[in-house]
Amino acid sequence: MQTTGQGHVRIIAGTLRGSKLPVADRDGLRPTADRTRETLFNWLAMKLAGRKVLDVFAGSGALGFEAASRGAAEVVLLERDAIAAASLRTSQERLKVDGMRIIQTDALAWLAANAEERFDGVFLDPPFASALWPQLWPLLLPVLADGAWVYVETATNSEIELPPGLHPEKIGKSRHSKYLLAQWHKPSIG
């Protein structure tokens, strides 16, 4: 996706290529930078088609809509803010995106209540000021299918500590963030 001026991002590739997504003016909402998104989706080129993907902190929807544009079979977007969630629904209707669920909810509460769901890929790009990681990992791991990929983005000065079973495959850094793509394999017992 490319920024199209203040308040919008543009989908880079796929069936929705060139479509604009509005970016609501909400505290903590910061779409993933253009070059970072481009790098991420190059990494995911062979890992999206026909997959079930979860965007835990959807915000502008940039990551989830790009995944849908590139062939993900099902995309679930979780967004706590009512205005941002309404904007996501409006974009879904306008762009006629099938296979997408937008749920206005607290991400941690939703993960706790939906541990039976399984996802082939997950985007984790929470507000940089949050300190959710210790609470997030135990709730997220049960929803990962074996071999699932997990994208993590944090502020440049933050440490990314992955739990056992998540193995980093690719790592990148931009001016304002650092990010990685990891793969999940449930640790064997004993």
C-beta atoms surrounding 20 within 10 Å: 18
Residue-wise pLDDT for 40-86, tens only, equals 999 998 899 999 999 999 998 999 999 999 999 999 999 999 999 99
Count how many residues are written for the chain: 190
How far is 162 from 156, CA to CA, in rounded Å?
16
| CA 135 to mean position of chain CA atoms | 17
Pick the CATH number of 33-184 from 3.40.50.150, 1.10.1200.10, 3.40.50.720, 3.30.930.10: 3.40.50.150
Asked if residue 89 has pLDDT above 70, the reply is: yes
Residue-wise pLDDT for 134-148, tens only, equals 999 999 999 999 999
What is the predicted pLDDT for the residue at 141?
A: 96
DSSP string, 49-111: TT-EEEETT-TT-HHHHHHHHTT-SEEEEEE--HHHHHHHHHHHHHHT--SEEEEES-HHHHH
Q: Residues 67, 40: contact at Cβ < 8 Å?
A: no
C-beta atoms surrounding 186 within 10 Å: 13
Q: How far is CA 138 from CA 76, 108, 150, 185, in A?
A: 19, 10, 14, 15
Which has the higher per-residue pLDDT, 148 or 37? 148
The helix or strand, by DSSP H or E, that contains position 180, with its residue range, turns out to be: strand 177-184
Looking at residues 22-26, what average pLDDT do you find? 71
What is the predicted pLDDT for the residue at 72?
A: 97
